[in-house]
Structures are given as C-alpha cells and as structure tokens.
Chains A and B, each alone.
Chain A
Amino acid sequence: MRTLPRKDAVICGVGWAGSVVLAELAQTGLDIVGLERGKARAPAPGLQAGAIEQDDLQGLRGAMMQDLSVETITHRHEASQTARPLNRFGAYLLGEVVGGAGVAWNGINTRFNPHDFEFRTHLAKAGRLAQIPDDMQVADFGISYKDIEADYDWFEAITGTSGQSGANPFEGFRSHAYRNPPLPDSMSGSLFRTAATKLGYHPYPIPAANSSREFVNPLGVKLHACVFCGFCDRFQCPVGAKGTPVSAILPALARQRNVEIRAQSRVLKVVLDKEGKHARGVEYVDAEGQRVFQPADVVVLSGYTYSNTHLMLLSGIGKPYDPRHGEGVVGRGYAYHVRGGATMFFDEGTWINGFIGSGALGTTIDDFNSAAFTASSTDFYGGGMITAESSGGRPIRRMAVPAGTPRWGAEWKKAAVRYYNHTARLNVCGASMADRRNYLDLDPSSVDRWGRPRLRMTFDFRENDIKLSRFLTERSLEIAREMGAVRADGTAASAPYDTKAYQGSHNTGGVPMGADPATSAVNPYLQSWSVPNVFVVGGSAFPQLPGKNPTATIGALARWSARAIRERYLKNERALAA
C-alpha cells in the first residue's frame, strides 16, 4: 500500500459536517485534506440550462445518491431477525458527491430548542423521568444551547438563511437576526398561518436556507435569490439560491492553498497505533481503485451517520454497543424522525399550485416542541413540528388523490386531474427517542467488496413513535379543517417501518456525544473518548433526535467541534474532557 505525505488533518467526508470543519480549520494555516467518496459537481447551471436540475426523472432516480452496488447497509426490524442488504433507496437518500447529502437537501434550517440539548434533565425536572419506558434511552447532549448559539448563527449566515426573527416564541435566544428576510407565504402556508393562529398556535415562516435575495455570506461567497422553480429537493439548486456546501463553502476553500479536496476517495478505516490509543491516519481507496495510506495528526470523521458509525466499528474505536443490556457506545442511539400529517384537498377555486415551491418554502409551528408541551403529561415523550410545506410538486413525485380512490384506471385519472393543483400537505416531523432495541452494528454475515463487514441497522418504529405520530396527525387534521380543506386524509406512521417509501433522510446517532463515557462515544467536543486525535462530527453525534430538521444542528456542532480543535486541541493535544 502506497503511503502519501503526512497531513496535519484529514477530514473524512465532504458533506455539510466536513465542509464546515474544513472551513474552520482552513484558517489555522494547517495542511489539511478532505476525502470524499463521491465526484465533484459543477456549480449551478442556471435556471434554463436543460441540465439535470430540470430533470424530474433524474431527481426521482437519485442521480447524486450513494451507489448501493458499491456500498450498502443491511436492515432488520428486530435483533431476532436476519438482516437483508438494502437493494435500493426508499425511505431515505444518502449523498455520494462532493457536498454530500447537503447538495440535495431542502434547506429547512431549524435550530433545536434549548431544552432539546438537555432532554433527560428536562424530563427529570418535569417529574417524568421515572415513568419513561424501560427501553427508552433519553440522554443529554453534554452541551447547552448557549454553548453553540454562536455556531448556529454562523451556520445561518453561511447558508443565507431567510427567516423572521422572533416569530417563533419557543426557540432560544438569538445573538443576531436572520441575515435575509423571510420567504413569502405560499398559498398553503398562508392558509395554514390563518388557521393555526385561529386555533391558538404560533405559526412562523420555516427558516429557509433558500436565499430570499442576492446575498454575500461571511466567507465572501454569493448566493442568488430563490425563484421558487420547484426543483429543490433531490437537486442542486439550478440558480444557486440554496445554501449547500457546494454553493456556500467550497468556493471559498478553493482559494485556500492549504486545503485540498480529493474526490472519489473512499475511506476504509482509521489506522491506530499498536496500543489503540492514537490514530496514525486513514486507509482509503483512491479514484483508480488503489488502496493508499494517508498519515495525519488529526482525523475527523465527518460522513453521514452510517459512514461514521461504520468506520468507528471497523477501526475498533470505542466499545461497540450491545443491545442486550444496553451497554457499549458505538452504534447506540440510532434515531429516525417519525412522520405523519395530512393530505388536504381544496375546492376548485382554491389554487394551491403546489409546483411553485422551494425546498423550505412554507409555514410551521413549534407549539408541540415547546418546553411546556414536552414537560406536560401526554402519553408519549418528545414533540414535533407540523408544517405546511411547499417544496415543489413535480407530478412524478406528488400526485395526491383522496384515500379510497383507486391507484389506477379511469377513476384515478379523474381524481388526479381534479386535485393536482388543489392539494397540499401538512407534514409532521416527530422526535425519535433513542431506544435500546434500535442500533447499528457490524453484520457478521454480510461483507462488502473490500472484505469489510457491512453496517447493519436494527430499527423499527416503537410505541412512543406511533403515539407521537398519531397525536400530531390528529392536530394536523384539525388544522386542515380550519384551513378550509374539503377533505383531509391523515397519514399517521405505523410499524413495521417500511424501507421502501420515502420518509426523510433524517438518520442520526450511532456515535452519540455526551458528558458520560459510559453512554456516549464522543465527548462534548465530539472527540473520541478513547482515541483523542479522532473527532466524529455529524448527525451521528445526536443522542436522540428532537422533533426538528437536523441540518442546522449538524452545521453548528461541526463548527463547535472544529473551534475546539482549533482553539484548544491544537494548542495542547490531549483529551478535552475527562
């Protein structure tokens, strides 16, 4: 195996987390390299270029997503079952491109609320901790909202986030207003605002990393104004209005001579010293398929939840989680947002025009994520958002007909025509509490082309998820009726978890952070407890998943961790927490 010249730091995975870490460490002048398994993408092509950004079928096929013929994971619902490899994407999408899943995201850029970071403490204060189910593994993040408020603010600025400061009464303090004014209300967002207000809720525009005007971010990179073309999710924005690693960070790094990004470089493992206490670098497969060793003083794992957890397990960093007694840490806390909501149908005089949209266009409420709500005695734990979303209604993705309508034939056709421009969605994004039975580990009976055990996911929606989804779906139906829908169909989640139907790419946990090494794999700075020159950054760090979109927190935690590396670790290379 070829050994390359040493680097000060190697960043494994150039999606949101990796790009943020690269941006922060670039300022140290250190010699750093980012390794990304996907290919590089050209910048935004323009609104009318006839490129992939206009191609609804390419979006549906997931042209920028992980090639599962090269690398896949296995899934089962319960530990008693045999897992099967995932043949094709369904429930979620994983990026395989420079920029990662961050290229094709929607841009819903919500901060978690302060109590979300201390949810175990929050439940204890509310007197609810004693009643939680035996299998529920609620934990604190080990940091407070206050610790990373500045990082949230930075990430909002980098992504050109459009929003209405102060409109959500339940969120934490903000040191700075949103940099861009909110996006206008969509038709359904406007109906939702009126209805939700009437019902006593507190609607506000979704904080959107879809720039509402031309904007130059703090890295000196220009974002353009969103035109609501409706080709947002599953695409790189055609006009460069969506804040993504490619549009908002990487152009600035291209000017940094101490930063190199190597595309088509797939990391296979972290190489440790003999004692297993120090990482020497990483082994990866380069674009020619050759295995190479990249020595580095600092190793940052910044891939998707699955990649980070897989690499930790393959490299023998941290104790693997064992579900029998809930011991061990790597693979623990795998979580996945539970969905639900309502599909609404309006009269023919109400033009919803669902094809007009941007990824994060819409109106939402945080009333069911508030500290007061989650402390009150409902029969479940955690909360969630209810959102009137207008993310683009390309007919091959969105063709809603009322429940009970045949899926095909003349009757289906009539309903499709009647409702296409008069339908809208209310989406529930419900919290996912960590559960002893949901976890990631190495599959003993499935190996990839490099002879490595594949990552195995054991996951199903549990009792709490189902109750939460049902409750928020009921509230959605009440709002839908108030919005004047002539008909609304509830879409509460049910078990077993269906890996084939799209639900959202909010997969977190596996390398949880925390203040207690017995229940966390990384410390509050996202530094490995056992190998201090390894940092593991990304959604993998969440000990459970609060009921809000995760990307803003992934961005903020990445900067928080990178600042700790820069300001503390590099000055004194040691464990940053004991």
Chain B
Amino acid sequence: MLTAKEHACLAALVDCLIPADAIGPSASDAGVVAFIDGQLGGDYGAGKGTYLPAEPDADIPGDWSPRTFYSKGLAALDELARQSAGCDFAQLDPGDRHELLSAIERKAIAHPWIAHFLDQAIQSTMEGYFSDPIHGGNRNAGGWKMVGFPGCGHDYRSFVGKNLPVAQLVPIQTIADFRDRT
C-alpha cells in the first residue's frame, strides 16, 4: 500500500514513538510498519464502517479515510522536516526527529491537523505493537512479552485474586496457536 518514500517516513516515525532498547524491540522490529501498511490496504484503511462525507472538509481528518490521512500526514511530516532541516523526516537524525515530534505534540507547529496525525500514529503504533500477531505486528509476541500479557484463550479460574506473577506462570497464546491446531 505505502510507497517507498512513505514507508521510510513511517518507519522513522514509529521508531521514534517506540525506540529499540534493552527492554523490548523497536516498533519496526516488532512489525508495526508492516502492520500499518496491511491495515491501510484493507477495510480499515478504506474507512469501512465509518461515515466519510461525499465532500470532506480539507481541515478535518475525521472526514478522511485512514489511507488518505496517512498519505497526507506522512507528506506533511516530510514537508515540516524540509522546512526546518532541508531533508525528509527519515533523513533527520533520531534526535531531530524526536525534537520535531515533540514540537508537534506541544502544538508549537502552526498546522491545522498535524497534531491529530501524531495522535493517529501513536494509536496505530500501539495497535501494531500490542495486537495479536495474526495482524502482522507484535512480531513473536514481542510486545506482549515485554509487558507481561499472556494473550488469548486462557482459563484463569485458578488465578483470580491471587497475588502471583501470573504472566510468568502461563504460556503466551495467540490466535495462530489455535488456528494451527484446528
């Protein structure tokens, strides 16, 4: 779904939101870019189930499909990087990327909706980092391992109300574990 340029911009963006370190994978290592690309190419990206007016407002991202929002948002991010540093967002060094996103978050950048795009990117990144690996993100359940979430399909009757590190006592289960079995 994404062009090579958009792909590079998105990877730089999501790795700024969840960087690699000793406690867990970066967003792109966890498959978040592939996840978002897959989502944008599917029903979600097309805005299925949502109300998109025939004449969308040019300044109201709620009127756009996620696909349109990402396309405009990534282009706007590159444009902002060019204005401040003369290169695309992905070409900025990590410190400058962080600085630009922080400025957007502080609403220190004059732009009608770029702060909403940051909100959207944070939401999508969390979805890709923490949703079931069947959707292409959360590679090897790395996001779940990192925080201690055992996944789906558990019978917790013997653990309710017990002060125990339950995530360390039960295996991580994903949808694929059950689909492969049946």
A and B together in one complex? yes
Tell me if A229 and B49 are in contact (CB < 8 A): no
Chain A residues near B173: list those with CB within 8 A: 48
The reply on A72 being an interface residue by CB < 8 A is yes
Cβ of B112 to closest chain A Cβ, rounded Å? 16
The reply on B41 being an interface residue by CB < 8 A is no
Chain A residues near B149: list those with CB within 8 A: 355, 393-395, 420
> Which of A227, A229, A355 has the most chain B CB atoms closer than 10 A to its own CB?
A355
Tell me if B16 and A413 are in contact (CB < 8 A): no
Chain A residues near B176: list those with CB within 8 A: 50
Known contacts being A50-B178, A413-B24, is A87 close to B51, with CB within 8 Å? Answer: yes
Tell me if B50 and A88 are in contact (CB < 8 A): yes
- Contact of B49 (CB < 8 Å), options: A47, A67, A356: A67
Cβ of B66 to closest chain A Cβ, rounded Å? 10
Tell me if A410 and B126 are in contact (CB < 8 A): no
Tell me if A187 and B163 are in contact (CB < 8 A): yes
The reply on B4 being an interface residue by CB < 8 A is no
Chain A residues near B18: list those with CB within 8 A: 408-409, 412-413
Known contacts being A353-B159, A421-B147, is A410 close to B131, with CB within 8 Å? Answer: no
Cβ of A353 to closest chain B Cβ, rounded Å? 5
- Contact of B156 (CB < 8 Å), options: A356, A409, A410: A356
Cβ of A447 to closest chain B Cβ, rounded Å? 12
> Which of A50, A69, A416 has the most chain B CB atoms closer than 10 A to its own CB?
A50
- Contact of A408 (CB < 8 Å), options: B16, B135, B167, B182: B16
Known contacts being A49-B182, A68-B51, A88-B51, is A56 close to B163, with CB within 8 Å? Answer: no
- In the complex, identify which listed stretch (A3-11, A58-66, A376-384, A424-432) lies at the interface while the others stay far away: A58-66
Tell me if B150 and A355 are in contact (CB < 8 A): yes
Tell me if B62 and A87 are in contact (CB < 8 A): yes
The reply on B9 being an interface residue by CB < 8 A is no
Cβ of B126 to closest chain A Cβ, rounded Å? 6
Tell me if B131 and A396 are in contact (CB < 8 A): yes
Q: How many residues of B contact A (CB 8 A)?
A: 59
Task: Flag A75-96 by CB within 8 Å of B: 1 or 0 each.
Answer: 0000000000111100000000
Chain A residues near B160: list those with CB within 8 A: 183-186, 228, 356, 361
Task: Flag B38-51 by CB within 8 Å of A: 1 or 0 each.
Answer: 00000010011111
The reply on B134 being an interface residue by CB < 8 A is yes
Q: How many residues of A contact B (CB 8 A)?
A: 57
Q: How far is the CA of A454 from the CA of B23 in the complex (A)?
A: 50
- Contact of A350 (CB < 8 Å), options: B19, B44, B98, B163: B163
Q: How far is the CA of A186 from the CA of B166 in the complex (A)?
A: 13
The reply on A414 being an interface residue by CB < 8 A is yes
Chain B residues near A410: list those with CB within 8 A: 19, 21
Q: How far is the CA of A183 from the CA of B53 in the complex (A)?
A: 46
Cβ of A267 to closest chain B Cβ, rounded Å? 20
Chain B residues near A54: list those with CB within 8 A: 132, 152-153, 175, 178
- Contact of A351 (CB < 8 Å), options: B131, B163, B182: B163
Known: A349-B163, A408-B18. 19 other contacts (CB 8 A): A49-B182, A50-B178, A54-B178, A85-B51, A186-B161, A225-B157, A229-B154, A230-B156, A350-B163, A351-B162, A351-B166, A355-B150, A394-B149, A395-B143, A396-B130, A396-B131, A408-B101, A413-B21, A417-B148
Q: B residues within 8 Å of A by Cβ?
A: 16-19, 21, 23-24, 44, 47-53, 62-63, 98, 101, 105, 122, 125-127, 130-132, 134-135, 143-144, 146-150, 152-157, 159-167, 173, 175-179, 181-182
Q: A residues within 8 Å of B by Cβ?
A: 47-50, 54-57, 60-62, 65, 67-69, 72, 85-88, 183-187, 189-190, 225, 227-231, 238, 349-351, 353, 355-356, 361, 393-396, 399, 407-410, 412-414, 416-417, 420-421
8 smallest A-B Cβ distances: which pairs?
Answer: A50-B178, A54-B152, A420-B147, A50-B179, A395-B130, A57-B131, A408-B17, A227-B155
